């Protein structure tokens, strides 16, 4: 019993000393953490857009007046303008078709300034054109593309005519547009005359009873000279030439006259014997040249003798 107590006392003392000692602190070990870095973003280099090469081309524009008639001939003109700065020579032709599709006229157009092409002559329609829609068709021959509408449709303006019923002898017809001003009127339906201004030119018609025999040259000359008026200097026109011919089925003489004055122009005069033995003088007197203008000639061609 005595030995046991000292051993227990020693054990207790050891526990007391151990309990008074400083506690042991546990220090945690730090483990490094890996943080991923973002990959650098690559900025794409812009690619240049290729510029398309412009295609050489010509733009076709047809020029046309508001109204077209026998009194207002239409100039044939187009514009061929380069669209890309590149141009090329071109051959241009124009055809005019009537409402039945028949070709009425053809024009070759020559190159002018400012990309224009035009014909030397204008479109002269007849006094009585076929009613309906006409067409102007332009053909361009060139090495590059041509854009634009090559076809133009139009309708001729109808004309009004002077009423000559009761003015001219019975059985005589002549179509003179109302736009042609009457500048002289003499006599009556038995014997008389009328003169009209056709633009700058004049158209005159005289009539009078004639012989019952066939028309001879000397009679035709007398009738012609009776219609020649002197100028203020008492000068008369000269007969340059004469030929025997016909007007329709009627015997006639065609004279070329040279009229005095500053213009010194030629005139064309027809002396015609009608079926009723009346004599007629139809004179075409141009003022802008020696050639008979188309309109003046067309009006003269409407002179018809049917007899009473």
**pLDDT digits over 90-120, tens only?**
999 999 999 999 999 999 999 999 899 999 9
Using left for φ > 0, alpha for ψ between -120 and 50, and beta otherwise, residue 178 falls in: alpha
Helices (DSSP H) in the chain: which residue ranges? Answer: 4-20, 217-227, 294-301
Q: What is the pLDDT of residue 157?
A: 95
**111 against 263, higher pLDDT:** 111
- The verdict on domain 172-305 having CATH code 3.40.1000.10 is yes
Q: Extract the tokens encoding 202.
A: 């004049």
Segment among 79-88, 128-137, 206-215 with least mean pLDDT: 79-88
- The verdict on domain 57-154 having CATH code 2.40.160.150 is no
Tens digit of each residue's pLDDT (9 = 90 or more) over 72-93: 899 999 999 998 877 788 999 9
Question: In whole angstroms, what is the distance from residue 94 CA to residue 121 CA?
Answer: 12
List the chain domain ranges. 57-154, 172-305
- How much is the mean pLDDT over the chain? 86
**pLDDT greater than 50 at residue 230:** yes
Residue with tokens 């700065």: 85
**pLDDT greater than 60 at residue 16:** no
b/e string for 257-276 if b means 16 or more Cβ within 10 A? bebeeeeebbbbbbbbbbee
- Closest CA relative to residue 223, chosen from 183, 280, 165, 153: 280
**pLDDT greater than 50 at residue 3:** no
What is the percent of the chain with per-residue pLDDT over 90, rounded to a whole number?
70
**pLDDT greater than 80 at residue 44:** no
Question: In whole angstroms, what is the distance from residue 179 CA to residue 9 CA?
Answer: 159
CA angle, corner 190, sides to 184 and 191, nearest 5? 45
Q: What is the pLDDT of residue 308?
A: 64
Integer CA distances (angstroms), 73 to 133, 152, 251, 264, in order: 17, 16, 33, 26
Q: What is the pLDDT of residue 6?
A: 45
**pLDDT greater than 60 at residue 190:** yes
What is the percent of the chain with per-residue pLDDT over 70, rounded to a whole number?
81
Which band of pLDDT confidence, cut at 50, 70 and 90, is reported for residue 17? very low
Q: What are phi and psi of 303, to 5 degrees?
A: -70, 115
**pLDDT greater than 60 at residue 172:** yes
Q: What is the pLDDT of residue 29?
A: 52
Say whether 95 sits in a helix, a strand or coil.
strand
Residue with tokens 């041509």: 146
Which band of pLDDT confidence, cut at 50, 70 and 90, is reported for residue 7? very low
Question: In whole angstroms, what is the distance from residue 63 CA to residue 58 CA?
Answer: 16
Number of CB atoms found within 10 A of residue 252's CB: 18
Residue with tokens 């035009």: 118
**pLDDT greater than 60 at residue 12:** no
Q: What is the pLDDT of residue 33?
A: 57
**pLDDT greater than 90 at residue 270:** yes
Q: What is the pLDDT of residue 242?
A: 97
Q: What is the pLDDT of residue 50?
A: 62
Q: Do domains 57-154 and 172-305 have the same CATH topology?
A: no
Cβ atoms of 181 and 196 closer than 8 Å? yes
According to DSSP, residue 69 is labeled: B
In the beta sheet, which residues pair with residue 269? Answer: 255, 283
* Predicted structure pTM score: 0.77
Q: What is the pLDDT of residue 273?
A: 97
Q: Extract the tokens encoding 254.
A: 């065609």
Q: What is the pLDDT of residue 32?
A: 55
- CA 79 to chain CA centroid, nearest Å: 10
Reading across the β-sheet that carries 192-198, which strands appear in turn? 181-187, 192-198, 201-209, 278-285, 266-273, 250-258, 238-247
**3-state SS of 101-149?**
CCEEEEEEEEECCCCEEECCCCECCCCCCCCCCEEEEEEEEECCEEECC
**pLDDT greater than 60 at residue 176:** yes
Residue with tokens 């021959």: 141
Q: What is the pLDDT of residue 87?
A: 78
**pLDDT greater than 80 at residue 222:** yes
């Amino acid at each position: 019993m005595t030995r046991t107590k000292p051993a227990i006392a020693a054990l207790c003392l050891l526990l007391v000393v151990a309990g008074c000692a400083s506690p042991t602190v546990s220090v945690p070990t730090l483990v490094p953490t890996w943080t991923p870095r973002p990959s650098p973003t690559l900025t794409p280099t812009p690619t240049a857009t290729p510029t398309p090469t412009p295609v050489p081309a010509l733009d076709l524009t047809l020029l046309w007046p508001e109204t077209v008639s026998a009194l207002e001939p239409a100039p044939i003109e187009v514009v061929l303008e380069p669209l890309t700065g590149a141009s090329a020579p071109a051959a241009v032709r124009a055809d005019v078709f009537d409402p039945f599709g028949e070709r009425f006229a053809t024009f070759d157009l020559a190159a002018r300034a400012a990309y224009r092409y035009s014909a030397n002559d204008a479109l002269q329609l007849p006094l009585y054109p076929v009613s309906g829609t006409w067409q102007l068709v332009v053909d361009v021959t060139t090495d590059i593309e041509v854009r634009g509408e090559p076809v133009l449709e139009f309708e001729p303006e109808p004309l009004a005519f002077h009423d000559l019923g009761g003015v001219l002898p019975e059985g005589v017809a002549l179509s003179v547009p109302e736009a042609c001003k009457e500048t002289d009127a003499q006599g009556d339906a038995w014997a008389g005359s009328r003169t009209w201004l056709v633009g700058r030119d004049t158209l005159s018609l005289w009539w009078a009873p004639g012989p019952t025999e066939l028309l001879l040259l000397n009679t035709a000359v007398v009738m012609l000279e009776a219609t020649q008026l002197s100028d203020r200097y008492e000068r008369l026109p000269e007969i340059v030439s004469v030929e025997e011919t016909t007007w329709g089925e009627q015997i006639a003489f065609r004279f070329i006259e040279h009229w005095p004055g500053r213009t010194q122009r030629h005139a064309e005069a027809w002396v015609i014997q009608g079926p009723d033995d009346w004599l007629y003088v139809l004179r075409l007197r141009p003022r802008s040249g020696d050639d008979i203008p188309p309109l003046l000639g067309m009006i003269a061609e409407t002179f018809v003798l049917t007899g009473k």
